[in-house]
Each structure stands twice: as structure tokens, then as C-alpha cells.
């Protein structure tokens, strides 16, 4: 590839097309596709219709697909019969935007200081649209690229509950991809970032029943078991007082870090901004002060978080003295490679039953962690593309969060490495008020993705 010519062609494209990109993104952001709000159900279809109009203009065949939940979307662009296929995944739904700190209406996008402000601008509509333009650039320039299938969903922000079912039902509309490209992650400070690992998540209820009615705590207290007291004891043995999972049978399943992973971790620890972390958490108290340890905990260690209880008193300002008889804890665990949801539920149940045989662990749904080997050749191409497009060597990062669709892709297409190239900046306000996407990030994102796609045009991994 003649990089200078490529660059010049890209600059020409961007000069011509960025006004178009801007208007398209503003229109996308104006559709309040809040997946968690039943009142906005119709907006899921509207946003996909809008995207269908855009991609069909750029040569795709596209269709909106019903699921038991909000709809999904498949768009296909065949470039050459002998080329491999690539799946590109984004989501078109957005978080709610009720924070009082918004300076403008979150669904009336504004262009200000070379950035588009509005809910969904950076998560995930702006990056998705940048990919479309990268493809359109390659197409109009007749540059090589793989055959492409775009998959959009509109349930990412609610945990992608139907994405697995969608893949099972409509998978035959998808060609087995050589790899999967995702742009729904964030730079590490000023550094472009390629995410090679995401934690999975297990939702659990942990139940203990010791009786059949509320009891008078005077007449029975101290003799009749208080299941809430007892469950607190059991739960406090699952997690240390410095916030780490302590169930031995689970810890022994966690994969150790490879030397390459250690190296990448050390690199990121050096550029990690604790003050940015604290700013994002609004100065929440932490279990750790050490950058490397913080990254280890976020990327590579499982969590055990108690979020609440049922069967207990929760009315503000009121304390009734009656003893509960059946309580349930609401727990989530973030899972790292080595921890499979079904096995986690099973081993946790065994651990808790040793403490109290009456404890029931109820599986409320889990997703596997996602990992792409660092030494995968697609990763090398992604590194080169970031260095070209963002003009800076990327770092390889893990993520503590989950993208619900990705474990489903890994289940259905286990051979296809998932490559996550970030276009968003930490300061863009993911899930926060005044979310925005800078046009400069869009331009660089388009360059990066164009470079990446053309470099893997014939790449089968």
C-alpha cells in the first residue's frame, strides 16, 4: 500500500464528506433510542431505518430483523467472491440522559467546538458512522477490503438479552467471518487503545430461608435464626474486606497472565491516570492506590458485588423489629478468562453450602469473558492501523466491563478473533452528561478503520 497516496486520498474524502458525516450523525443522535425505556421502543426501529438509508446509499443491502426484544440489523457489502468476510458490530441504542448537568437537550444535537454533543454521539453512533465512511472511502477508491457484514443491535445498553437468540435464528444470514471488528471502547488517556479482553458477568440470587413467617424479635430473637444475619456471614466469606473474591475453588480457575499480558499491563500502568479514574468515579473511595494493582483488579480479577436484598425491610426511616424469615441477596460477579458462568454458579453453590447447607444459589444469567490472543495477526494489523490513523502507537488493554453481544459472537463464531478498536476519548462522557464526539476523532477513526480494513482485505488469520 502506498501510504502517502492513501493518506492524500483519505484527506480528500474527509474534506468532501465530513459535512455529510456531521449531518448524518446529528440526525442519528436526534433519535432518542433509549433501549431501557419502554416509551422509546419505536425509536429502535427508527434509528435502524435511518441507518438503513445511509448504508444502502453506500452500496449495502440492509434489512431490519425482529427479535423477541428490540430489533437488530444486518447489512451486507460483497466486494469480491474470493475475499474473506468480516463482521462489524455496533449498537444503535443509547443510555438514558436524565442527568441535570446536561447543558443542552441530549436529543437535540449541537455542533460546538468541533464536536457533536448529544446522547449516543460517542456511544456508539459516531464510531459506527465513522466505520461506514471508512468503508465508503475504500469502496469509492476501489481499494481492497474484505466482504463486509454489519450487525447492529439496539439492546446493548440493557445487556443484549436477545442477541444470542438473534444469532441462533439469523446466523445463516451471516457468512462465517474471518474476524469481527468492534468500535465501542475508549482510549487510554491520550493513547489509542485496542481491547483484547473483556470481563464476563454473572447475575446471581443467593437465598436463605429459615422459617415461614416474620417472628417477634423479643420473644424469638437470639434463638430463631435471622436469615439476614446468617446470609451476611456467608456473603462476607465470598469477598475480602479489600474487595477481592475469596472463593478458593473459583480463584484457582483464573488464568494466569502471560508474559505479553504482563508487559502490556506494565505499559498501561505507566500512563494510567489515577486522577482521571477518580474524576470519573466522583472521588469514590478505593480499595487500592497502585495503578498496576488497579488495572489488575479491573481487567484480570473477578469481582463479587452485593447490590441488594429481597425479603428485607427497605422503607426509608422505618425500622420494624420483626425478624425476616426468607431473604435473597442480589449479586453480580465480573468474570475473567478461566471462569465460565455455569461453573461459577456451581462452585459458588458448593462453597456456600459448606457454610450453610440451606443456601440456594440461583443463576440469573451469565455471559462469558471475551478474550482475543495478543499475538493474533489481526491485532498486529489493528496496531498498525491505529499508528497510521491516530498517529500514535496504541496500547493493548483489558476492560472491566462487558459488551453483551461479544460472548455470543465467540460462541457462534469461535474461530473469529474479535478486534476492538477504540475511537472514543475518556473525556467524551460515555454514559455521562454532555456526551460528545469530536470531529477530529471521527476523522482519525475513519482513517484508522480504512487502513485496518484494507490491510486485512485478503487476511484469513
Name which of residues 398 to 437 contact a second copy (CB under 8 A): 399-402, 431
Site string for a second copy, 283-302 (x = CB under 8 A): xxxxxx-----x--xx--xx
Query: Taking the complex as a whole, how short is the minimal distance between the CB of residue 327 and a second copy, in angstroms?
Result: 9
Least distance (Å) between residue 182 CB and a second copy: 15
User: Quick check: helix, strand or coil at residue 410?
Assistant: helix
Distance of CA 38 to the CA centre of its chain: 22
Q: Report the SS3 class of residue 71.
A: coil
- According to the binding rule CB under 8 A, does residue 276 interact with a second copy? no
Give whichever of 111 and 158 is closer to a second copy, judged by the CB atom: 158
Tell me the number of residues near a second copy by CB under 8 A.
78
Q: How far, in Å, are 56, 124, 132, 450 from residue 136 at the CA level?
A: 11, 19, 6, 9
DSSP run (H or E) holding 419: strand 418-421
In the complex, minimum distance from the CB of residue 76 to a second copy, in angstroms, rounded to a whole number: 32
101 touches a second copy by CB under 8 A: no
Shortest gap between Cβ of 314 and a second copy (angstroms)?
4
- Of positions 49, 140, 257, 277, contacts a second copy by CB under 8 A: 277
Site stretch for a second copy (CB under 8 A), options 106-114, 222-230, 265-273, 444-452: 222-230
CB 127, min distance to a second copy, A: 18
For a second copy, what does the binding mask look like between residues 318 and 347, x meaning CB under 8 A? xxxxxxxx----xxx-x-------------
Task: Supply 143's cell numbers.
Answer: 481499494
Closer to a second copy by CB, 332 or 376: give it: 332
CB of 410 to a second copy, least distance (A): 17
Q: Cβ closer to a second copy: 118 or 366?
A: 366
Q: Strands (DSSP E) along 70-174, which ranges?
A: 72-77, 85-91, 110-112, 115-117, 147-153
Cβ contacts of 251 within 8 Å, gap of 6 or more: 245, 302
Is the CB of residue 448 less than 8 Å from the CB of residue 386? yes
Q: What DSSP line would sit under 211-230, residue for residue? A: -SS-B-TTTTBTTB--HHHH
Q: Which of 113, 314, 375, 414 binds a second copy (CB under 8 A)?
A: 314
Nearest 10 degrees: Cα torsion 386, 387, 390, 391: 180
In this structure, the chain runs to a length of: 461
Amino acid at each position: 500500500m502506498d501510504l502517502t497516496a492513501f493518506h492524500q486520498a483519505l484527506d480528500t474524502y474527509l474534506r468532501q464528506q465530513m459535512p455529510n458525516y456531521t449531518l448524518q450523525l446529528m440526525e442519528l443522535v436526534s433519535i432518542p433510542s433509549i433501549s431501557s425505556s419502554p416509551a422509546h421502543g419505536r425509536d429502535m426501529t427508527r434509528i435502524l431505518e435511518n441507518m438503513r438509508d445511509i448504508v444502502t446509499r453506500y452500496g449495502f443491502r440492509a434489512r431490519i430483523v425482529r427479535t423477541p426484544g428490540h430489533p437488530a440489523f444486518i447489512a451486507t457489502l460483497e466486494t469480491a467472491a474470493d475475499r474473506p468476510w468480516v463482521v462489524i458490530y455496533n449498537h444503535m441504542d443509547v443510555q438514558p440522559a436524565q442527568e441535570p448537568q446536561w447543558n443542552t437537550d441530549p436529543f437535540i444535537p449541537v455542533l460546538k467546538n468541533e464536536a457533536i454533543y448529544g446522547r449516543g454521539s460517542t456511544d456508539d453512533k459516531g464510531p459506527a458512522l465513522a466505520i461506514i465512511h471508512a468503508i465508503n472511502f475504500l469502496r469509492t477508491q476501489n481499494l481492497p477490503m474484505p466482504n463486509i457484514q454489519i450487525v447492529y443491535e439496539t439492546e446493548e445498553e440493557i445487556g443484549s438479552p436477545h442477541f444470542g437468540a438473534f444469532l441462533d435464528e439469523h446466523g445463516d444470514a451471516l457468512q462465517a467471518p474471518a474476524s469481527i471488528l468492534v468500535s465501542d471502547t475508549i482510549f487510554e488517556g491520550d493513547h489509542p487503545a485496542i481491547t483484547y479482553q473483556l470481563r464476563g458477568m454473572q447475575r446471581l440470587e443467593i437465598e436463605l430461608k429459615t422459617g415461614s413467617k416474620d417472628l417477634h424479635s423479643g420473644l424469638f430473637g437470639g434463638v430463631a435464626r435471622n436469615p439476614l444475619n446468617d446470609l451476611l456471614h456467608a456473603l462476607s466469606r465470598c469477598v475480602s474486606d479489600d474487595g477481592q473474591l475469596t472463593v478458593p475453588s473459583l480463584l484457582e480457575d483464573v488464568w494466569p497472565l502471560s508474559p505479553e499480558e504482563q508487559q502490556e499491563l506494565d505499559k498501561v500502568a505507566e500512563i494510567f491516570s489515577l486522577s482521571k479514574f477518580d474524576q470519573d468515579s466522583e472521588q469514590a473511595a478505593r480499595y487500592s492506590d497502585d495503578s498496576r494493582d488497579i488495572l489488575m483488579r479491573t481487567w484480570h480479577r473477578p469481582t463479587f458485588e452485593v447490590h441488594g436484598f429481597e425479603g428485607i425491610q427497605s422503607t426509608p426511616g422505618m425500622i420494624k423489629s420483626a425478624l425476616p424469615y426468607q431473604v435473597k441477596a442480589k449479586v453480580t460477579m465480573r468474570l475473567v478468562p478461566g471462569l465460565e458462568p455455569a461453573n461459577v454458579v456451581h462452585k459458588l453453590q458448593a462453597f456456600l453450602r459448606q457454610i450453610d447447607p440451606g443456601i440456594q444459589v440461583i443463576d440469573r444469567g451469565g455471559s462469558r469473558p471475551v478474550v482475543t490472543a495478543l499475538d493474533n495477526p489481526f491485532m498486529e494489523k489493528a496496531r498498525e492501523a491505529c499508528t497510521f490513523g491516530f498517529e500514535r502507537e496504541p496500547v493493548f488493554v483489558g476492560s472491566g466491563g462487558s459488551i453483551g453481544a461479544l460472548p455470543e459472537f465467540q460462541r457462534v463464531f469461535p474461530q473469529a478473533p474479535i478486534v476492538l478498536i477504540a475511537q472514543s476519548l475518556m473525556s467524551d462522557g460515555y454514559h455521562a452528561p454532555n456526551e460528545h464526539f469530536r470531529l477530529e476523532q471521527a476523522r482519525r477513526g475513519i482513517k484508522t478503520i480504512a487502513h485496518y480494513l484494507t490491510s486485512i482485505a485478503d487476511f484469513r488469520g
